[in-house]
Amino acid sequence: MRTRTGLPLLLFALWLIALPARAQEALEVVAPAGAVEFSYQHLETNKLLISAADGEGNPLRNLTIEDFIVKRAGKQAQILSAEPLETSKDVSLNIVMVVDNSASMRRRRAVDPIIRAMENLYAIIRPIDNITVIVFSDDETIPFGDYNLHVRMKQSNQIEELRAFIRESFEENLTNKTVVYEGMLAGLSVLHNLPEEANKFMVVFTDGEDINSAFRGPVVEKAAEGIANFEAYAIDYMPASGTNPFLSDFSASHGGRIWKASAAEDLVPIFQAVMSKLLYRYVVAYRFLYPPTGTLALVPAVVNVEEITTIDSAPLLNYIYFDTGQSAIPERYVRFRSQDQADAFDPANLRATLEKYLNVLNIVGKRLAEFPDAAIRIVGCNTDMGEEKGRIDLSRARAEAVKAYLQYIWGVEPSRLAVEARNLPEVPSSRGTPEGRQENQRVEIHADRDEILDVVTSTYAEARMDAEALQLQPLIVAEHGIYSWKLTILGDDTPLHSMTGSGRLEENLNLPPDKLAPLAIAPYKQIRAEMEVEDMEGQVYTVASDPIAVNFLKREERRARNLGYKVQEKYALILFDFNSDAIKARNEVIVRQIVARIDSLADVSVNIVGHTDNIGKEAYNLDLSERRARAVFNQIAAVRGEASAEAFKYAGVGPFDPLFSNDLPENRALNRTVTITLLYEQKD
């Protein structure tokens, strides 16, 4: 006995455990006028395969979009198209034909009629269709779980291949047994393997009762459970006058019907009717036009913005970092082209810490000009690994580049600019990480007077609002899903910021504080939001929030009314060494200055916060930042006395609230700090 394997059959367990049917939308599909027989299958989202026939089973032809109605929850869909399946290039037919080729066909002189009848199947086949023909076999079997099905199978959409298979089955391989149930089980396993959204049809033709299958009808019924988009049809050519009860029930329960062939000459027209039933259908596309709806809220309802005078004392990081293997000063550092530009430079015009740092060469040059008796040491270093291994010459070239700039642009006498070269810095960063190695590629500037590397102080106006951020609360219902959205924030009627996105909206969306900073919204009386939402169907919905009021407390207005105005002084200690909480001597000077400032103020709040870079474990860095903050707190307490320092707050935030991004070595160095903020009210 030969056994054929490798065919797409499910394991026996598939019919023991019923698969859940595909959950479909609760649609109401109305039969076209004149349709007596009517059925439909879900192909994909918003697409149906519809069959409509008259009272004699003849398909209704030439139907248009006007003939179809689809509803859901009482709302009628828009019919987009109604294309005959026979002309569709996108929807394939998936047909399984179970054909009885038992020896009784010859006794009843039906071999030639059935061969001719099968031409009706070949006539409807298109290149995109999937056809499986199953016949009985005395010699071959297909494994199905623990059983062998006595069938042969041909899967093809090539007409000549199918025609040759049928001819061989009826002219050379008629069987002595009728195994309709086994043929149906094989066919159902093929249908189980098709995608859930694919249409699936089974046609069963038999001329006798099934008395030889290893299974009975209930097994077939069980195997059919869970097949989505499935219709079954049967052609009964048995000698009995009525139709076979099992095939009648099976086809009816799966959306199909059964035909009775009383004589061989009935086979050709019945097969023609069956194939017409399969082919002459309509691919109907629809959509429900439920536009998005919803509300938009901007909170809080009122924002108070207060102008604050900021006195910012930023540390002067005395390192210049170089690219690997390079001695040229990187482009990010601000350098002048002439001494005239240098003469016009005023460090008081610099605001942010990074802006001050990137001007470090100019600040040092300016101060050397102001203190002609001061001198500096310029120490070149390298990472002493890889291409920089032992490169004292590279270290010296880096130092010479810094010296040349100070000499030729700032006019500093060479005798005041001592150049030294070494491999690793005296206090290096860890060479075990790329970041640490990058930080060791530097020039250090050391001065014999504190004024040269003192903090850089500038005064400017900032604003603070009583809300951490403006928050948007969109409650948008889009039945078809959100394709895209655009948000616009307006101050009065002036666009201030816009955002775009796609997909589902968060219920609470914090607007970026850098784009809607207090000073940015302060000039306006009201802030409001507008949102435009487009769903997957191209429907657009626009919604606006109620405006929120902006109260701007200007410093000049408060001064005119003889009211106090807020002042904040920001201090950041000069960087701590890598992995260290030790306060350097330069920082001790700054701490004494801060203490003196605190003593001069009547009512001041003091907030001390420790920071780290992002190198290393978070838990360790959090502890390190707290040790740094505590060290500063202890030093202030030592100068002012423990009692007066009890009201001061200090905390460590580690790498979680970085002052600067950690992408560059100077940013990481400036993150190794403790910030001290004084907040008080000033009266003129």
Residue 331: pLDDT band by 50, 70, 90 thresholds? Answer: very high
- Alpha helix ranges (H) inside 148-291: 159-171, 180-192, 217-224, 245-253, 267-279
User: Tens digit of pLDDT for each residue in 96-112?
Assistant: 999 999 999 999 999 99
Q: How far apart are CA 390 and CA 387, in angstroms?
A: 9
- Give a yes or no: residue 446 inside a domain: yes
- Give a yes or no: residue 513 inside a domain: yes
Q: How far apart are CA 412 and CA 419, in angstroms?
A: 14
The mean pLDDT of 179-190, rounded to a whole number, is 95
Q: Are residues 123 and 270 in the same domain?
A: yes
Mean pLDDT of the chain: 87
Specify the amino acid at residue 370.
E
Residue 328: CB atoms within 10 A of its CB come to 10
- Give a yes or no: residue 311 inside a domain: no
Higher local confidence (pLDDT), 305 or 81: 81
The pTM assigned to this predicted structure is 0.50
Q: How far apart are CA 276 and CA 285, in angstroms?
A: 22
Q: Supply the range of the domain harboring residue 161.
A: 2-287
Residue 101: both structure tokens together: 């080729």
Residue 292: both structure tokens together: 């998005």
**Angle between helix 360-370 and helix 392-408 axes, rounded to 10 deg:** 60
- Strand order across the 376-380 sheet: 319-321, 442-447, 376-380, 417-421
User: Tens digit of pLDDT for each residue in 610-627?
Assistant: 998 888 889 999 998 998
Q: How far apart are CA 208 and CA 190, in angstroms?
A: 24
Residue 375: both structure tokens together: 């001198």
Q: Are residues 271 and 324 in the same domain?
A: no
The mean pLDDT of 253-275, rounded to a whole number, is 94
Domain final position from 524, 553, 582: 553
Percent of the chain exceeding pLDDT 90 equals 59
Q: Are residues 600 and 575 in the same domain?
A: yes
CATH classification of the domain holding 518: 2.60.40.10
User: Do residues 437 and 325 lie in contact, with contact meaning Cβ atoms separated by under 8 Å?
Assistant: no
Domain final position from 452, 469, 500: 452
Residue 14: pLDDT band by 50, 70, 90 thresholds? Answer: very low
Q: What are the residues whose beta carbons fall under 8 Å from the beta carbon of 594, sequence distance 6 or more?
A: 571, 636, 676, 678
Helix (H, G, I), strand (E, B) or coil at 227: coil
Q: Are residues 423 and 442 in the same domain?
A: yes
pLDDT at 552 over 60: yes
Which pLDDT belongs to residue 642? 57
Helix (H, G, I), strand (E, B) or coil at 543: strand
Q: Are residues 193 and 133 in the same domain?
A: yes
Which pLDDT belongs to residue 522? 85
Q: Are residues 561 and 543 in the same domain?
A: no
Q: How far apart are CA 192 and CA 11, in angstroms?
A: 11
Kindly state the greatest CA–CA separation across the chain: 126
User: Do residues 352 and 514 lie in contact, with contact meaning Cβ atoms separated by under 8 Å?
Assistant: no
| Buried/exposed code over 458-481 (b: 16+ C-beta within 10 A; e: otherwise) | beeebbbbeeeebebbbebebebe
Q: Are residues 14 and 123 in the same domain?
A: yes
Residue 607 pairs with which residues in a beta bridge? 649, 677
- Positive or negative, the Cα torsion across 386, 387, 391, 394? negative
- Strand order across the 28-30 sheet: 28-30, 69-72, 75-76
Percent of the chain exceeding pLDDT 70 equals 91
Helix (H, G, I), strand (E, B) or coil at 63: coil
User: Do residues 559 and 508 lie in contact, with contact meaning Cβ atoms separated by under 8 Å?
Assistant: no
- Strand order across the 140-144 sheet: 2-3, 140-144, 147-149
The mean pLDDT of 340-355, rounded to a whole number, is 91
**What is the separation, in whole angstroms, between the first and last Cα of the chain?**
110
Q: Are residues 625 and 646 in the same domain?
A: yes
Helix (H, G, I), strand (E, B) or coil at 352: coil
Residue 217: both structure tokens together: 């009808």
Which pLDDT belongs to residue 574? 56
User: Tens digit of pLDDT for each residue in 45-94?
Assistant: 889 999 999 988 889 999 999 999 999 888 888 899 999 998 888 899 99
Helix (H, G, I), strand (E, B) or coil at 142: strand
User: Do residues 233 and 256 lie in contact, with contact meaning Cβ atoms separated by under 8 Å?
Assistant: yes
Number of H helices, E strands in the chain: 20, 34
- Give a yes or no: residue 276 inside a domain: yes
Q: How far apart are CA 36 and CA 17, in angstroms?
A: 35
Residue 564: pLDDT band by 50, 70, 90 thresholds? Answer: low
User: Tens digit of pLDDT for each residue in 582-614?
Assistant: 766 667 777 778 888 888 887 888 899 999 888
The owner of tokens 């869970």 is 226
The mean pLDDT of 502-515, rounded to a whole number, is 84
Q: How far apart are CA 624 and CA 619, in angstroms?
A: 9
Residue 170: both structure tokens together: 């009826």
Q: Are residues 363 and 495 in the same domain?
A: no
User: Do residues 452 and 367 lie in contact, with contact meaning Cβ atoms separated by under 8 Å?
Assistant: yes
Rg (CA), the chain: 43
DSSP states of 432-488: TSHHHHHHTSEEEEEESSGGGG--EEEEEEEEEESSSS-EEEEEEE-TT-EEEEEEE
Q: What are residue 96's phi and psi, to 5 degrees?
A: -110, 120
Q: Are residues 560 and 443 in the same domain?
A: no
Q: Are residues 196 and 277 in the same domain?
A: yes
- Give a yes or no: residue 111 inside a domain: yes
| CA-based nearest residue to 321, from 408, 487, 439, 215 | 439
**Can you say how many angstroms the Cα of residue 242 is from the centroid of all Cα atoms in its chain?**
61
Q: How far apart are CA 480 and CA 504, in angstroms?
A: 11
User: Do residues 81 and 285 lie in contact, with contact meaning Cβ atoms separated by under 8 Å?
Assistant: yes
Q: Are residues 409 and 515 in the same domain?
A: no
**Can you say how many angstroms the Cα of residue 261 is from the centroid of all Cα atoms in its chain?**
59
Helix (H, G, I), strand (E, B) or coil at 133: strand
How many structural domains comprise the chain? 4
CATH classification of the domain holding 614: 3.30.1330.60
Residues in the chain: 684
Q: How far apart are CA 295 and CA 275, in angstroms?
A: 53
The mean pLDDT of 553-565, rounded to a whole number, is 57
Domain final position from 527, 553, 579: 553
Residue 595: both structure tokens together: 């203490």
Which pLDDT belongs to residue 131? 96
- Give a yes or no: residue 310 inside a domain: no
